[in-house]
Amino acid sequence: MSGSACSKAPERSRLMHESTLELIEEDKETSSNKENFSGEIIPMRKFTLSDFDIGRPLGKGKFGRVYLAREKKTGFIVALKILFKSQILKNGVEHQIRREIEIQTHLRHPNVLRMYAYFYDDEKIYFILEFAARGELYKTLQKHHHFDERTAATYMAQLAEAFIYCHAKKVIHRDIKPENLLLSLTGDIKIADFGWSVHAPSLKRKTMCGTLDYLPPEMLDHKTYDSTVDLWCLGILCYEFLVGNPPFESETAKETYSRIRKVQVEFPEHLSDLAKDFILKLLQKNPSDRMSLQEMLEHPWIEKNAKTRSK
C-alpha cells in the first residue's frame, strides 16, 4: 500500500508519516520552556539552521526527517522538520508544501499542531513545529488495538472543537486518520498534517483526495464536495478508534469502494448503542444528512463519555 494523495487516491499506508512531524507547547510540555518563554512563542524572525541545537531524530518520511531541537537564543524546545527540495520537486508536491505552510501557520487552536515558523536554504526547507510529547496517536492505537469509549469520545469531542474552528476559517482537511494525529504531554489530540488541506471560502471542490479507507462516497463518484467530507472522515476515525480498523477495509480497492458506496457498516458486539448511533449519524451517504460538528458535541454518547477540559 502507498500513502495519501490528491487526484489519485491510493490505498492506505501505515508506513508513511512525512507530514505528521512535530514540536513543543510553550506552557505545558517542559518546565524549561515555561521559564524561558513565560507563555510566549518563538518570536517571528528569519532563522537559519545555525540557530538550533539539533538533538535526537523523532521520525522520517518520504521527503525528509524530523529532529528534536532547541532554539539557541531562547532555549525553546522544538521539533525541526527538514524537507529535501530535491524530493519535493521529484514528486511534484511543491503546491502541497506551500499550501501546508499557508494554512498551518495561520491556525491557532489547542487541538491543532502549531507551525511556529519556517525557513529554507539552497537544499532544504525547515518547519519549526509544536512538539507533541506523546507522539503519534496511531502507535498508541496499535499498542492498545482499540480505545475504550471514554477515550474515543474524548478524542472525538476535541476533534469536533478543532474542526468547528477550522471550518470557520474555511479550511477543509480532507485527510483525517490516526496517522495524522499526535498526542500532547497531557494526552490531548493534535491535528498534525495539513498537507492535503485546502482553503475553500466559497467554491465546492472536486479533487479526489485522501486515503482509500476514508474516502467519502461523493469523492468516489467524482461529485463536488465541501467541508462535510471531514464529517464522514470523523465517522470512519471514530469507528477505527473503537474497533481497531476502518469499517470499509477490504482485501481489494474495488471491494472497499463497493462497501463505501453501500455504507456497509458492521459493528462488533462490544460497542454500545450510543456509539453505533454516533458513528452512523456521521456515515451518511448524503452529505447534507451528516451530523454537524455542534451536534457531535451535543450527542448523548459524547456527553456521557467525553472528558472535557472543564471536568
**Distance linking the first and last C-alpha atoms of the chain:** 41
Per DSSP, the three-state class of 99 is helix
**Is 53 known to be catalytic?**
no
Q: Is 91 annotated as a binding residue?
A: no
Q: Is 180 annotated as a binding residue?
A: yes
Residue 162 DSSP one-character state: H
What's at 266, amino acid-wise?
Answer: E
- Biggest CA–CA distance in the chain, Å, is 57
Cα–Cα distance, 194 to 205 (Å, whole number):
16
Cα–Cα distance, 21 to 7 (Å, whole number):
24
CB distance 179 to 138 below 8 Å? yes
Main-chain dihedrals φ then ψ at residue 74, nearest 5 degrees: -105, -20
Q: Which of 175, 188, 213, 230 is catalytic?
A: 175
Q: Is 36 annotated as a binding residue?
A: no
Instruction: Give all strands (DSSP E) within 197-249, no chain letters.
Output: 198-199, 209-210
CB distance 83 to 123 below 8 Å? no
Q: Is 81 annotated as a binding residue?
A: yes
Q: Is 152 annotated as a binding residue?
A: no
Contacts of 206 (CB under 8 A, 6+ apart): 222, 223, 224, 225
Active site residues: 175
Binding site per annotation, positions = 62, 81, 130-132, 179-180, 193
Binding site per annotation, positions for ATP = 62, 81, 130-132, 179-180, 193
